[in-house]
Chains A and B, each alone.
Chain A
Amino acid sequence: MLNKIGWKKMAIWLSLLVIVLYPVFFHSNSYIMHIFILFFCWAVLASSWNLLFGYAGIWSLAQVGVFVIGAYSSGMMAKFTGISPLICIPLAAILTALIVTLFVGLPSLRLKGIYICVFSLMFADALPSVLTQTRKWTGGGRGFHDIPPLWNNISRVHYYYVGFAIFLISLFIIYKIVNSSTGKAFIALRDSRDFALSLGINEYKERLKVFALSSFFAGLAGAFYGHYLGHISPSSLGISPFLLAIAMMEMGGLGRFPGAVIGAVVLVFGSELLRLTGMSRLTILGAAVVLIMLFMPKGLMQIVDIIDNIKLRKNAIIK
């Protein structure tokens, strides 16, 4: 008999199995594999954002910018130094975490709620102009090209499995974090700041921690993304990726695990469908975001709760 936890575990293992086996059976269809790889990147990005925005309640809007910083750092490191991208990717993630903690996390310690929104938005908005002014190295508006691949003669299947590994590891660690006492401290500060402070939580330390952690994972995903595509440009900082990520986070269920991943599934594959049908993606996405806020404020995780409740009631009746 399936108990309360059973069906969720089943669903997770089943999806992982499908992902693992997919290339074995559909080796030839590289388009779907490409979408899967994008999904891995987006899912990590959205989950890292959820850590900051959903769990810690810090309304930073710069997360796509963080992702792009990761992509540029790793790409430039690999291209200019010749170090293997496999080493550059984690290094770039650490560098991203440092940069973001310093330039967004530290100043935002003095800011509250809405001001962090505005400040982080400005930070992300300033990035394209930084890129333009450093165009000698970064390629400016035309973008940064010829990012080295992970290794020579790499095939898409390899990217697929590396991406999958990054996805798994990141989500596993994020899951561990939100269930650890550090994660509980983030939630405590969000739910009731004064009470959290009076119980001995060091607010500055925890906020810097969450900035560092969330930007590490966003940077990691971005770094991998850059090597996979081979180029990165300021257009990734535009409104469309931003909206996509925000929609994933809230569509899945803010401050819930693995909400952002579910949101990423729906939006990556959904928006690909929209693209194929030739409809205006952004108009529909924009409207969808508003509608979700109005009618499904807890996101798709609400459906999980509903199933849980039905199961509970059934069990009660059986007893």
Chain B
Amino acid sequence: MVLKTEGVSKYFGDLRAVDNVDLEIEEGEIYGIAGPNGAGKTTLFDVISGLWPPSSGKVIFKNDIISGLKPYQICHKGIARTFQISTVFATLTVLDNIKIGAVFGAKTKKLDSSHINEIIEFLGIQNKKDTIAQNLELYTIKLVMLAAALATDCKLLLLDEPMAGLTIAEIDNFLQIIRKMNKEWGITIVIIEHLIDTLIDISDRIIILDGGKVIYKGLPEELTKDKKVIEVYLGKGEE
């Protein structure tokens, strides 16, 4: 087991954004998360990556309790993430964006430029290396965000709706990238995705959140047969 959460909750005042969530994520799998807007998916990522400490519960990464640690410490343990709202360092070049991840995120403090080049080539952004990030279009911004996260040498990667706003061709590309990272680089992936079909397609296991609670946990194939899920999630006119 790579990552485990035990009864993790996060309250904003009276609002239970994440409510008593238990997860066990196995090494090497692709773990899908879905749920309606405001279900607490992003907040769960925020808690795992340390931006918020949990209001209660524990997050365990490779047998270490990481809840309560600062984000940079969690990053150094090997957890990286991307953000739902695409953010990069707007005034830095693409290369500098990625270098931030490599210099500050990796445990070995030495800059490994061959590793950076490998990532850049893998994502196909060689010719954008020297562009200032604020001049990029959405797809490249998402790739840069991913590249910087990869540069931290992560073992576990949290992707928050990485394909929102992309064209169908771009989505196909991105799915390939995710599979490759998972298979060839051995990175465990947790992915939040609104499109259920896409999620079923790519995930080994899936959970559905609603109102901060886990309402389904299991294999993708059985998801569409689950009554609760149909009621809460698919019943809302999504399909």
Give chain A's interface residues, CB within 8 Å of chain B: 181, 184-185, 187-188, 191-192, 194-203, 255
Q: Are B51 and A185 in contact (CB under 8 A)?
A: no
* Contact count band on B: 20 to 34
Interface presence of B54 (CB below 8 A) = no
Q: Which of A195, A198, A200, A203 is within 8 Å of B88, CB to CB?
A: A195
Q: Are A187 and B88 in contact (CB under 8 A)?
A: no
Q: Is B142 an interface residue (CB 8 A)?
A: no
List A contacts of B151 (CB < 8 A): 199
Chain A residue nearest in CB terms to B71: A197
Q: Are A196 and B91 in contact (CB under 8 A)?
A: no
Q: Which of B50, B90, B152 contacts A199 (CB 8 A)?
A: B152
A256, closest chain B residue (CB): B91
B174 CB-CB contact with A under 8 Å = no
Which residue, of B70, B72, B91, has the highest number of chain A Cβ atoms within 10 A? B72
The verdict on B188 contacting chain A, using a C-beta distance below 8 Å, is: no
Q: Which of the residues B50, B80, B100 comes within 8 Å of A185, measured between beta carbons?
A: B100
**Residues in B whose Cβ lies below 8 Å from that of A196:** 89, 100
B72 touches A192 (CB 8 A): no
User: Would you call B152 and A200 a contact (CB within 8 A)?
Assistant: yes
Q: Are A200 and B105 in contact (CB under 8 A)?
A: yes
> Which 5 interchain pairs have the tightest Cβ spacing?
A200-B105, A200-B75, A197-B71, A200-B104, A191-B89
Q: Is B81 an interface position by the 8 A CB rule?
A: yes
Taken together as a complex, chains A and B put the C-alpha atoms of A185 and B99 apart, in Å, by 10
Closest to B51 in A: A194
Chain B residue nearest to A205 in the complex (CB): B72
Cβ contact within 8 Å between B148 and A199: yes
A-chain residues with CB within 8 Å of residue B72 when the two chains form the complex: 197, 200-203
- A192 close to B88 (CB less than 8 A): yes
Asked if residues A184 and B99 are in contact (CB atoms below 8 Å), the reply is yes
A191 near B92: Cβ-Cβ < 8 Å: yes
* B49 x A198 contact (CB < 8 A): yes
What separation, in Å, do the CA atoms of A191 and B100 have in the docked complex? Answer: 12
Contact with A along B82-97 (1 / 0, CB 8 A): 0100011111100010
Whether A187 contacts B51 by the Cβ 8 Å rule is: no
Tell me, in angstroms, the Cα distance from A198 to B90 when the chains sit together. Answer: 16
Chain B's closest residue to A202 (CB) is: B72
- Cross-interface CB contact of B91 among A185, A197, A255, cutoff 8 Å: A255
Chain B residues positioned under 8 Å from A187 (CB to CB): 89, 91-92
16 new A-B contacts, CB < 8 A, other than A199-B148, A200-B104, A200-B105, are A184-B96, A187-B92, A191-B90, A191-B91, A195-B83, A195-B148, A196-B100, A197-B75, A198-B80, A198-B149, A199-B149, A199-B151, A199-B152, A200-B71, A202-B104, A255-B91
Q: A181-B99, A192-B90, A194-B87 are in contact. Are A199 and B80 (CB under 8 A)?
A: yes
Pairwise interchain contact B99-A194, C-beta atoms closer than 8 A: no
Q: Nearest Cβ in chain B — how far from A203, in angstroms?
A: 7
Assembly CA distance A202 to B100 (angstroms):
12
Contact with A along B115-152 (1 / 0, CB 8 A): 00000000000000000000000000000010011011
Task: Kindly list chain B residues whose C-beta atoms are within 8 Å of the C-beta of A195.
Answer: 83, 87-89, 145, 148
* Cβ–Cβ < 8 Å partners of A200 in chain B: 71-72, 75-76, 101, 104-106, 152
**Of the candidates A191, A198, A201, A202, which one forms a contact with B51 in the assembled complex, judged by CB atoms under 8 Å apart?**
A198
B207 at the interface (CB under 8 A from A): no
Whether B104 lies near A199 (C-beta < 8 A) is: yes
A202 to B88, CA, bound (A): 17
User: A201 touching B104 by the CB < 8 A rule?
Assistant: yes
The minimal Cβ–Cβ distance linking B21 to chain A, given in whole angstroms, is 20
**A201 CB contact (under 8 Å) in B87, B90, B100, B145:** B100
Give every chain B residue within 8 A of A184 (Cβ-Cβ).
92, 96, 99-100, 103
Chain B residue at minimal CB-CB distance from A206: B104
User: Can you list 10 A-B contacts with CB-CB less than 8 angstroms, sorted by A residue number?
Assistant: A181-B103, A185-B100, A192-B90, A195-B88, A196-B89, A196-B100, A197-B75, A199-B148, A199-B149, A202-B70
Q: A290 to B122, alpha carbons, bound, how many Å?
A: 48
Chain B CB count within 10 A is highest, among A181, A188, A195, A203, for A195
Contacts of B106 in A (CB 8 A): 200
